[in-house]
Structure formats: C-alpha cells, structure tokens
Amino acid sequence: MDLGLNEQQELLKNSAREFLENECPESHVRDMEEDEKGYSPVLWQKMAEQGWHGLLVPEQYGGAGFDFIDQMVLVEELGRALVPGPYMSSVFGGAVPILEAGSDAQKQEFLPKIAAGEVIFSLALTEPSARFDEAGIQAKATVSGQDVTISGTKLFVSDAHVADYLVVAARSGKGVTLAIVPTKQAGVKTTVLQTIARDKQCEVVLENAKGQLLGTDGGGWAALGPVIQKYTVAECAYLVGLAQMDFEIAVDYAKERVQFGRPIGSFQAIQHKCADMVTDVDGSRFIMYKAAWSIASGQPANDTSIAVNMAKAWCSEATRRVVAHGQQIHGGIGFTKDYKIQLFYRRQKRAELAFGDADFHRELVAQQLGL
Amino acid sequence: MDWSDSPEQAKFRQEVRTFIQQKLPESYRPKAGEATGEDEGFTGGWQADRKSTDPKRVATAQQWATALAEQGWIAPAWPKEYGGAGLSTIEQFIYNQEMAEAAAPSVGGMGVSMLGPTLIVHGSPEQKQEHLSRILSGEVAWAQGYSEPGAGSDLASLQTRAVRDGDEYVINGQKIWTSGAHFADWLFALVRTDPEAPKHRGISFMIMDIKTPGITVRPLINMGWEHGFNETFFEDVRVPAKNLIGEENRGWYVGMTLLDFERSGIAGAVSYRRGMAEMKEFLKGNGKSYRRQDFNTTRLELADRAIETEVLFNFAFRIVTIQSRGLVPNYEASVNKTFGSELHQRLSRTQSKAWGLYANVWDRSSKYAPMQAAHIHDYVGSVPHSIFSGSNEIQRNVIATRGLGLPRG
C-alpha cells in the first residue's frame, strides 16, 4: 500500500514539467488555438525525441516499455501545460488499439512510426448519435479478407485533419469491426469543427474508404473495451493536471490581488474555496491513479471497470468545480481572453465530455453496484 | 503506486482477521439484515457497556477488553515499553481498518487515544506508573475537559481557573461537550493557571478523579434525544499538585502532543462502504416495500456517494503513505476530516431519502422503520461531525493557511 510516485515516476514528472515549461508556454497554447493544424510539428518531434509517443510501446516496437501508471504521470503534465496537438489521439487512439488488437505485422509497421512521431493516428469512434456504446456504431463496413471498405459519418474525431491514419469503428454483418484507414484518399473527407476548447475535433465523412482490418471481423467492440478504458483514464489524468494548474494559478492570484487593503486570499470566503479546490484536485488525482493501477496491475475485470467509471464520474465533476472556483477567484480579469485562467476553463469542458461525462459514468457505476 | 498489501501487510491483516473471528464476542457481531452503523462511542459500545446495569453487557465488555489486552492490542500505537503493541503506522492502519470492517467496538477510548500518549511524552515516572497500566487493563476510562461555553473554536480563550494552594490546585469553572464523562472515571482538562499571560501561555494540563468533591457532571441531551456529552462544573475542586502534567502554564503545548498514531480516519470510510453494502442487500429483499416510487434520482445519488467513499478511502491511504514514509501530514489530515464528515452527512441524507415518508420513523423497533431507522438516526447523528474536532470552517482555514500558504485573515 503506497500512494506515492516511485523514483522513476518522479524523474519523469520533473523532466516533463521542465521540458514543457520551456517548450510549451502559454503563448504557444494561444498560438495553436488559431493555428490551422493546431499543433507545432517542431514541438511534436521534440516530444518524440523525449520518448513520449512510445512511452507505452514495448521496446521491441521502438518504444520505451513503461507501464500505464507511468504514462498517466506524463499525461498529467501534458494537462498541466495544456499541450496542444494530437498526442492523446495518436497514443491512445493509435498505439493502444494496435497494441490491443493488431497483428504482429501491423505492430511492426505502425508502432515504431508512432513512437518516432512519424505518423499520427486518431480514433474515429463516435458518430452523429454522440453515443459511447456499441449501439452508437452505425457506419457500414464491408470486409473482404484483410480489406475493409467503410461508409458513414464519424463525428467529434480529434485531430483527424492532421492524422495519417484513423482507427475506425464500423459495423459489418458480424458486428463492430475495426479498421486502420489512411486519411489521404478520396473516400475520406474531414471538416474541422470550431469547439469551446479550440482543439481540432472533426466531422469525418467516409465514402467507400479503404482500410485494413484491425483485429477480427466482428471483434471490434471487444477489442475497444480496454482501449476506451485507457483513453478514459488518460482523459482523467489530463483533467488532473489541468485542474492542478488552474488551482495553483488561482491560489497565487489570491495571494497577490489586494482589495480593502489586504490580499483577497486572507478572506475566509476565498480561503475556503481554495481549500475545496485542493480537496477536489487531490481527490481526482488518487481516484484516477487507482483506475490506472487497476489497469496496470491487471486487477479483476469487474474491479477495473467500476474503477474507471468512478474515476471519470468524479474527475469530470470535481475538475469542473475547480475551474469554476478558479474563475470566481479571479473576478473580472478571469473573464478576459488575455488572462490565462480561461484557457483551463474551456479545455476542462472538452475533457469532461470526452468518453462520457459524470452523468454517463454515474449510471454505469449504479448498474455495476447492483442499484 | 500500489493499492494492495505487501506480503507482510497481508500476513498481519490475516492475523487481525483471525483474532477478530476467534475473539469478538457474539453480541458485538453484526446481525444479518441489520444495520451496524458506526461505532457508537459515547452513547453505546464498550464505554457504555462497562458501566451498564445489565450484567451481560458488563461481562461482554470485559471479555472483549481482556481478549485485546492478552493480545497486547488495547493500545496498538503505544510503544512496547509502555505496554502498547508498538505497531508501525501501516500496521495500525490495517488494524483499524479490520476492526472497522468487523464493526468491532474500540476499547480504551480517550485513555488510549489521548491521555496515554500525552503521559508517555510529558508524564513523570510516577504518573505513568499510576495511570498507563490502568488504561491498558480497561480498568479506567477517561474523559476530556477542553471546550467551555465561551471557548469553542477559540479554545485557547478558556477561562476555567486553577489556583495553586499549597500542595493543591483549586479549580473553578465549567467545561462543556465532555463526551462520555458519565461513563468515565478520570478526567483530563485544560485550565487557566495564569490569567495575565498571553492566552496560549497561561494554560495547564491537569488530571483528576471525576469523583473529586466539587465536580458535577450534568447530562446534555443531544438533538437525537441521546445522552452522549455533558456539562461539567467545577466548584472549589481541590486537585493534588502532582496531577499537573508537564510544566505549569505549558498545558496548551502538552495538550497538542501527538504520538506516531496513524491518522487516516479509515474507520469512517469503512463504515460508509459497509453501510452502502448493507443497504443494497436490504433493497434486494424487504427494502422494496419501503423504497420510494421515484427511486431513480436517489439511485444515482447513491452511486455518487459510493464514488465519494472511494475518494475518502484514497485520502486515508494517502495519509498512511505519508506517515509510512516518516513524514507528518500537513493539510492532508484536515482534508480527510472535512471531506469525511461532509460525506457522512450527504450519505445519510441520500440513504434516508430512499425511504420517502418512511424516513420519518425514528423508533428502531417499529415495523415501519427500514433498517431499524439507521439512516435517519445517522442523518441526525452526523450533524456534529462537521463541528467537533475542529469545525470544518477551522479545518478549511488550516488547509488554506498552513497547507496553501494563504495569508491569515
């Protein structure tokens, strides 16, 4: 029993923080909000050189072979720095599904390139129904040997406009089936949506798009189970880092901002908000790591499942409370575009919604508790 | 990061479980289909049983105390040289967790948790000799006299006066919220010995037999119509000067002494999780006839409470992680107290809500009382949890100033 980081994790955390403070300052985050691609290929390559894209990828496929808890330590730092770009898409929407369902040939082909930052992947899961369950997958897949042809509309696909490949979930006669679909083909049309977080979520229209089978025909939903779990916990980790930073900014502001001749942080009305913020941030961190530990250490499937749902239910709500307090503590200045706190407020919503908000996961918790 | 036991921890956990399995008296074991609630402390449990008029209850309390004493587990945290078990913080944590899982009543009360540790650090050899063994045998129960009508959150403003007169101190004043004083044999109290000094520096720590002439313990009935705490009056109470603990006027600091006790508050988290499990079982059977028609909102609220209970578990694990690494928790203990007490209140509200109008029923024996009215009792019983042991407002001040470095108001 120990809820602290080990030495390697401390090292990873500290080096990531230092790297991102230099390479991903607030100005970069702002620039990328208005950038067409939404990320900097230069920073992307530097991150790859740090070994981050392949952190989870086994060494035989060109990765670092770290475990899932280590990976969450890094994602927490990405959330803290609000790193723009397709990192989550490529790692959790590309490397992870290939690791879960790919043939050895597919692992050989794609994982080293993902780890090196040479290709970008994204997961095309949700559709206009905006559902996260199996019934939400309605795009049509036709499977012939290893070849898959897909038609349908995928919606809220992160970074599809810069992705080289999409892992697409579609429905064949045998059920949900996954395919690796190159984006540079006539049958794939991508439109970027303008979103609250100014990230790059896309509508992807597939018209007889050609791809290769990932896993088995009809085996897609089973293969997606662990992928969605890991992606969900990663979104929690991103939220933890984001909320931690929002909270730190707010506390610093409360120490500096003077009204009635004293720092507003000396007023209990502000102090108690800050106390509630640290409780929510810490609570989020541990419930996220509990789920990550459950995955990493291979706890029984039922335990892992409810741990993931509990983590996303809690983190979604608790971090929302944190960023709301962050805004309130800042007063009017926080509502301006120029001040940094709003960057966190807007991005919290994206991650809160990703893979289901608290209402979605709470219902699943209730079901698993037998309520 | 690891939520599981190491092999040594698993072995110790098994040892505690086996002990409970073999030694916990039958009447202290949870009955199937009944709500166990929390360790009732000052209104029931071991403290009340040992002073009960029912000889069976007295015998049960003695049997449990003897079993624990034989194992050396009355005071798990005390050093071995003082008769404690000298358990590491993680072992104490496992011990407390398993005792709470079994809903086993704790033995020794404030003698074990507060007075003993204070004596170990500040007591003279004679004081240790006289009192520690009688705590360990379960022979003497202690009550705490700190709060006064005018000294609550601002405890250091206390006014109960002790004046030196030869070999004695003469005490006059009043204490309040003296929990369990009606079951206690001895009292430890903070009294003012120097009214001219700054408020923290004129206080002394005194112990006294509660039967000393001039001490009157008067029941204060709480809003649940239970007798848990009291008002305690002092009228020319003459206490031997040798009952001063530590130096005169240093009592505030003597009272703040902490031993290396685990401070996770794990028992609360365990009891909330167990209460949820008991409710789920009940809902599968008889509970259906009490359950409100429009249950779905409550159902989702229950899921939230289950999630929050996990958060509380993690906060407890964090404290024991900090302590196991030889560090002292800072604001983290205040987070546990605040979050735990407020969860307790939310949980009892949500649980009682499930029963709709049946949540009115207070009589535990009524056929209209779901789960012996446990949840509505808890709804009332949890009210003081955000007030005692440092109100949640004070705790949040501590988190903000000591933890986050915000300037004091």
In a domain, B1, yes or no: no
Strand partners, A247: none
E strand residue ranges, A3-130:
121-124
In a domain, A1, yes or no: no
DSSP label at residue B2: B
Rounded distance, CA B409 to CA B393, Å? 13
Same domain (yes/no): A318, A184: no
Q: What is the pLDDT of residue B44?
A: 66
Strand partners, A168: A124, A179
Q: Does A60 touch chain B (CB under 8 A)?
A: no
Query: Chain A closest CA to B270's CA: distance in Å?
Result: 16
Q: What is the pLDDT of residue B279?
A: 95
Same domain (yes/no): B321, B215: no
Name the catalytic one among B91, B148, B262, B332. B262
Rounded distance, CA A178 to CA A175, Å? 10
Same domain (yes/no): A92, A173: no
Query: Chain A closest CA to B262's CA: distance in Å?
Result: 14
Same domain (yes/no): B291, B349: yes
Q: What is the pLDDT of residue B32?
A: 73
Indicate the residue of B3, B4, B304 with minimum beta-carbon distance to A362.
Answer: B304
In a domain, A177, yes or no: yes
DSSP string, A265-301: GGSHHHHHHHHHHHHHHHHHHHHHHHHHHHHHTT--H
Tokens standing for residue B156: 């250091």
- The C-alpha angle A247, B327, B394, rounded to 5 degrees, equals 50
Query: Chain A closest CA to B305's CA: distance in Å?
Result: 10
Q: Does A275 touch chain B (CB under 8 A)?
A: yes
- Give me the number of domains chain B comprises: 3
A3, B1: Cβ pair inside 8 Å? yes
Q: What is the pLDDT of residue B332?
A: 96
What is the number of CB-based contacts under 8 A between chain A and chain B? 151
Q: Which residue has the tokens 């239970």?
A: B226
CATH number (domain holding residue A296)? 1.20.140.10
CATH number (domain holding residue B86)? 1.10.540
In a domain, A2, yes or no: no
B107, B134, B169 — which closes off a domain?
B107
In a domain, B131, yes or no: no
Q: What is the pLDDT of residue B46?
A: 82
**How confident is the model over A91-137, as pLDDT tens digits?**
999 999 999 999 999 999 999 999 999 999 999 999 999 999 999 99
Residue B137 corresponds to which amino acid? S
In chain A, the residue whose alpha carbon lies closest to the alpha carbon of B403 is: A275
Q: What is the pLDDT of residue B256?
A: 87
In a domain, B124, yes or no: no
Contact status, residue A339 vs residue B277, Cβ threshold 8 Å: no
In a domain, B134, yes or no: no
Same domain (yes/no): B279, B234: no
Rounded distance, CA A15 to CA B162, Å? 59
CATH number (domain holding residue A32)? 1.10.540.10
Q: Does B408 touch chain A (CB under 8 A)?
A: yes
Residue A332 corresponds to which amino acid? G
In a domain, A47, yes or no: yes
Indicate the residue of A272, A292, A313 with minimum beta-carbon distance to B396.
Answer: A272
Same domain (yes/no): B33, B148: no
The answer for A 311-350 residues in CB contact with B (under 8 A) is 313-314
**How confident is the model over B160-198, as pLDDT tens digits?**
999 999 999 999 999 999 999 999 999 999 999 999 999
A152, A182, A217 — which closes off a domain?
A217
Instruction: Provide the Cα torsion A208, A214, A215, A221; round to 10°.
Output: -70
Annotated active-site residue B262? The verdict is yes
Same domain (yes/no): B17, B85: yes
The answer for A 246-265 residues in CB contact with B (under 8 A) is 251, 254-255, 262-263, 265
- Other CB atoms within 10 Å distance of the CB of residue B408: 10
Q: What is the pLDDT of residue A74?
A: 98
Domain that holds residue B354: 266-403
Same domain (yes/no): B200, B290: no
Same domain (yes/no): A85, A37: yes
In a domain, B11, yes or no: yes
Q: What is the pLDDT of residue B102?
A: 94
**How confident is the model over A9-30, as pLDDT tens digits?**
999 999 999 999 999 999 999 9
**A90-105 burial string, b = 16+ CB within 10 Å, else e?**
bbbbbbbbbbbbbeee
Question: How large a percentage of chain A has pLDDT more than 90?
Answer: 100
Indicate the residue of B307, B331, B396 with minimum beta-carbon distance to A314.
Answer: B307
Same domain (yes/no): B346, B281: yes
A297, B2: Cβ pair inside 8 Å? yes
A297 φ, ψ to 5°?
-100, 5
Rounded distance, CA A265 to CA B409, Å? 8
Same domain (yes/no): A171, A76: no
DSSP string, B230-288: EEEEEEEEEEEGGGEESSTTBHHHHHT---S-----HHHHHHHHHHHHHHHHHHHTGGG
Query: Chain B closest CA to A320's CA: distance in Å?
Result: 16
CATH number (domain holding residue A152)? 2.40.110.10
In a domain, B305, yes or no: yes
Q: What is the pLDDT of residue B37?
A: 61
Rounded distance, CA A9 to CA A74, Å? 9
Same domain (yes/no): A100, A143: no
Q: Per-residue pLDDT for chain B (409 aa), expressed as one digit of tens each?
A: 999 999 999 999 999 999 999 999 998 998 876 777 655 556 667 888 888 999 999 999 999 999 999 999 999 999 999 999 999 999 999 999 999 999 999 898 899 999 999 999 999 999 999 999 999 988 899 999 999 999 999 999 999 999 999 999 999 999 999 999 999 999 999 999 999 999 999 999 999 999 999 999 999 999 999 999 999 999 999 999 999 999 999 999 999 887 778 889 999 999 999 999 999 999 999 899 999 999 999 999 999 999 999 999 999 999 999 999 999 999 999 999 999 999 999 999 999 999 999 999 999 999 999 999 999 999 999 999 999 989 999 999 999 999 999 999 8
B154 φ, ψ to 5°?
-90, 65
Query: Chain A closest CA to B4's CA: distance in Å?
Result: 5
Q: What is the pLDDT of residue B40?
A: 56
Rounded distance, CA B106 to CA B99, Å? 8
Indicate the residue of B9, B317, B409 with minimum beta-carbon distance to A266.
Answer: B409
A60, A94, A115 — which closes off a domain?
A115
Rounded distance, CA A15 to CA B408, Å? 34
Domain that holds residue A255: 222-369
In a domain, B133, yes or no: no
Same domain (yes/no): A72, A197: no
In a domain, B225, yes or no: yes
Same domain (yes/no): B212, B298: no
Same domain (yes/no): B243, B195: yes
**How confident is the model over A284-340, as pLDDT tens digits?**
999 999 999 999 999 999 999 999 999 999 999 999 999 999 999 999 999 999 999
Q: Does B320 touch chain A (CB under 8 A)?
A: yes
Q: Does A295 touch chain B (CB under 8 A)?
A: no
- Give me the number of domains chain A comprises: 3
B1, A69: Cβ pair inside 8 Å? yes
A314, B315: Cβ pair inside 8 Å? no
Rounded distance, CA B12 to CA B7, Å? 9
A184, A217, A250 — which closes off a domain?
A217
Q: What is the pLDDT of residue B394?
A: 96
Same domain (yes/no): A202, A249: no
The answer for B 177-206 residues in CB contact with A (under 8 A) is none
B307, A362: Cβ pair inside 8 Å? yes
- Which residues on chain B are in Cβ contact (under 8 Å) with A294? 3
Q: What is the pLDDT of residue A345?
A: 98
Question: What is the mean predicted confidence (pLDDT) over A169-180?
Answer: 98
Tokens standing for residue A367: 């079901």
Q: What is the pLDDT of residue B216?
A: 98
